[in-house]
Amino acid sequence: MPAHRAASHESQLVGVYLANGPLRARVTDNTSRLCPLGDYAVPGYNGLASLIREGQGRNVFTPAGLNYECGSTVPQMGQQKGVWNAPRVAPMTIEQLNAHTGRLTQKGADAAGLNAEIVFDLGETYVDQTITVWPDVDVESSSTFWASYMNLVQNTSLFLRGVLQGEQEARWLEMTSAGHNGGLFFRPFDPSGKAWHEFLTDNPVLRQAVFQTPETVAATERAGFKAGALVSFDNFFFGFVDDHVALWIFRPTDKGAFNAFVSASGSEAVRRPAWDFGIWSGPQKAGERRTYHVRFVYKPFAGMDDVLEEVQRFQAPDAG
């Protein structure tokens, strides 16, 4: 099939249109836009509003998309200091750099103290995020949080290799949530040799709700999950959208740490989980720019060897 090209009416939509090979995407600022799934406005959501693979014909994300949700410094500062979702509230600018690259910028003085420049570069099987942040004054630390609201997936779990609090060794884990505003739950999982559909071993709708309740916690525990805290992980995690893998890879850095999170619903609906990540940075001087590299791979699942090859390729010290 020929690659999709932006129709004339698409130029009237919010944001910039990107295309590369079988993937097409739209990156937006935090201008309010329509949520067709609920017939209401979604103010403040920004970043990767849509990602569609040719032949699959549907957006990977809900209208909330993969968005820059939180960003702040210690001590707090900026016009929106103390506002938990300052990046959604403060002014943002967007520009298209070329046919497959867009850039978002936000001033720390307008937000919660953290200047941000986020470049989205669309490849044929992935979206790269190059995230650069800096404060205007010396800070004890800074942090950003990125929420990805997924669109009606069958399997709401994430899979990763990590160390849980109280344990010494890394192991493969399935990570889930009993509902929004709750904790994380884990059970051991061996991904080797499995087809995409074999990662789904029970029906998450039977143990999850939009918000966590004592009943959903009990159901999650009956399914073999235990509440826990992730101490460290191998800087990648993945889930599934039908037979496609959704794989986040983080390039290791000595200027901070990445964190992984999951919410059963993202406060929206069951089967619309939030697969999230955060970046924590330590002490930072005024004007000191720190750049973090994240890759979101989206393609048909071709086995665990292929997943690990994608991880190695992006995390390699000489990766460009």
Three-state SS at 210: coil
pLDDT at residue 37 in the model: 62
Number of structural domains, the chain? 1
Q: Which pLDDT score, from 0 to 100, does residue 158 have?
A: 98
What is the number of residues in the chain? 320
Q: Is residue 3 part of a domain?
A: no
Is residue 320 a part of any domain in this protein? no
Q: Does residue 2 form part of some domain?
A: no
- For every one of its 320 residues, what pLDDT tens digit does the chain have, with 9 covering 90 and above? 333 445 444 555 689 999 999 999 999 999 887 666 666 667 789 999 999 999 888 999 988 899 999 999 999 999 999 999 999 999 999 999 999 999 999 999 999 999 999 999 999 999 999 999 999 999 999 999 999 999 999 999 999 999 999 999 999 999 999 999 999 999 999 999 999 999 999 999 999 999 999 999 999 999 999 999 999 999 999 999 999 999 999 999 999 999 999 998 877 788 899 999 999 999 999 999 999 999 999 999 999 999 999 999 999 977 76
**What pLDDT is recorded for position 164?**
98
Q: Judge whether 129 and 279 are in contact, CB under 8 Å.
A: no
User: For the whole model, what pTM was predicted?
Assistant: 0.94
Q: Which residue has the tokens 């992935």?
A: 126
| Residues of the domain holding 41 | 8-315
- Total Cβ atoms within 10 A of residue 214: 8
**pLDDT recorded at residue 2:** 35
Q: Is residue 286 part of a domain?
A: yes
Identify whether 290 is part of a domain.
yes
The reply to whether 199 falls in a domain is yes
CATH number at residue 227: 2.70.98
- Tell me phi and psi for residue 136, to 5 degrees: -90, -15
**Residue of 221, 104, 232 lying closest to 168 (CA atoms):** 232
> Quick one: which of 249, 234, 250 has its CA closest to 171?
234
What's the distance, Cα to Cα, between the start and end of the chain in Å? 30
